[in-house]
């Protein structure tokens, strides 16, 4: 029977040792948690205050995470809006480029008028029309109408030589009767 007592006492000792080791391990974890919660301070030994600090930090971290999630959602929405605006601006830019090219082609077509051609001033400024064209005023029949935009002198001296060349007229123009 003595053996039975020895077995039971050794079992109690080993159980007490295991409990002591478990408590030491738990205390070590509490001190680690205390160091993590307040890195600059000495670790607390009061388990209740450590747990309350941990709960407070967890609540704060959850609130921060929620705030960051909302901020991220807002930024994603802003990104979508900016992408839409960017595409609209790109389309507008392409339209403006096409309009610019069209206008440039029109300017080239206008500037490439045949040499020696001078449009009538009424084509540019209808307000510059002389009063002789108005229906209630008639010009005298023996005089040619006077145009203030065209001086009363010959302009042939300022025409380029290519326009004045008449050697090809018989080939280019039908004979006049």
pLDDT in tens, 20-36: 999 999 999 998 898 88
Model confidence at 122, pLDDT cuts 50, 70, 90, reads low
Phi/psi of residue 4, nearest 5 degrees? -65, -40
pTM higher than 0.85, yes or no? no
Q: Is the pLDDT of residue 150 over 70?
A: no
The predicted structure's pLDDT at residue 37: 86
Q: Which two tokens stand for residue 173?
A: 């123009």
What's the average model confidence in pLDDT over 144-164?
66
Is residue 127 within 8 Å of residue 175, measured between CB atoms?
no
Q: Is the pLDDT of residue 110 over 70?
A: yes
Q: Where are the domains of the chain?
A: 65-110
Cα-based torsion angle of the residue sequence 102, 105, 106, 109 in order, rounded to the nearest 10 degrees: -160
């Amino acid at each position: 029977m003595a053996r039975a007592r020895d077995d039971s006492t050794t079992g109690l000792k080993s159980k007490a040792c295991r409990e002591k080791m478990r408590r030491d391990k738990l205390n070590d974890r509490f001190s680690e948690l205390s160091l993590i919660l307040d890195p600059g301070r000495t670790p607390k030994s009061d388990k209740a205050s450590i747990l309350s600090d941990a709960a407070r930090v967890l609540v704060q971290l959850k609130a921060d995470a929620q705030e960051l999630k909302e901020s991220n959602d807002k930024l994603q929405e802003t990104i979508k809006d900016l992408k839409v605006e960017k595409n609209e601006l790109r389309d507008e830019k392409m339209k403006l480029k096409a309009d610019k090219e069209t206008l440039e082609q029109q300017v080239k077509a206008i500037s490439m008028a045949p040499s020696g051609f001078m449009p009538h001033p009424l084509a540019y400024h209808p307000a510059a029309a002389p009063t002789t064209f108005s229906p209630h005023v008639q010009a005298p029949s023996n005089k040619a109408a006077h145009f203030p935009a065209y001086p009363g002198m010959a302009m042939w001296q300022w025409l380029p030589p290519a326009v004045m060349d008449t050697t090809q007229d018989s080939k280019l123009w039908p004979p006049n009767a």
